[in-house]
Amino acid sequence: MLSSYSEYLIHKKWMKHALKQAQSAGDAGEVPVGAVIIDSSESIIASCENRKQRDNDPTAHAEILAIREAARRLQTWRLHECTLYVTLEPCPMCAGAIVQARVGLLVYGVDDPKTGAIRTVANIPDSAASNHRLRVIGGILESECRSSLQAWFANRRHRTK
C-alpha cells in the first residue's frame, strides 16, 4: 500500500529503470524482465536483466542477478535496507531468493498469472516456510510492464509462424 503520491513517484522512477533493463533483455532475445535494487539512500546498487538464454543458466533471472550484485557490492547477503524493483512478479525461485536475502521492500510491475509466487499463484513471503516478512507493493507501471511482455511474446509468436 502506498502512503503518499510522492512515494508513488519514487517507485515509478525506479520502475522506469527496471523497464529499461527489461527492454535490453528483450532486444537480446530474452524474456523482457528487468530488476533494479536501490539502497536506503536511493542509490542504484544493482541493475540487471534476464540472461537465462545468453548465459545458459536457468537461474539467471533478473532478480537473482540483481541480488547477487547487490550482495557483492554491499559485502553482505542481508539486503534488509534495500528495495528491489522488478517488472514482473517473481517466480518461486526468485521469491525464495528475495526472502533469503531479507530484501526490505519488493516493488513489482505486473502480476504473473502462471508462475507468480508473491501474490498471484503462490504467496511465498507470507507462507509458514518464510523466515522473513517481506513488504510488497505491486502494480507500479503495470500497463507499461504488461505491454512490454505482451509485445515481446506477440513478436516471438509472429516470427515462429
Active-site annotation, residues? 63
How many Cβ atoms from other residues are within 10 Å of residue 40's Cβ?
Answer: 10
pLDDT of residue 161: 60
pLDDT of residue 160: 67
C-alpha cell of 120? Answer: 498471484
Q: Measured between alpha carbons, how far is residue 89 from residues 11, 52, 115, 124 in Å?
A: 15, 17, 8, 12
Q: What is the DSSP letter of 34?
A: E
Q: Is 22 helix (H, G, I), strand (E, B) or coil?
A: helix
Alpha helices in the chain (DSSP H): 5-27, 52-55, 62-74, 92-100, 142-160
pTM, two decimals, is: 0.94
Average pLDDT for runs of 10 along the chain of length 161: 83 98 97 97 97 98 98 98 98 97 98 96 93 94 96 83 60
- Give dist(CA 36, CA 155) in Å, integer: 25
- Give dist(CA 80, CA 134) in Å, integer: 9
C-alpha cell of 136? Answer: 510488497
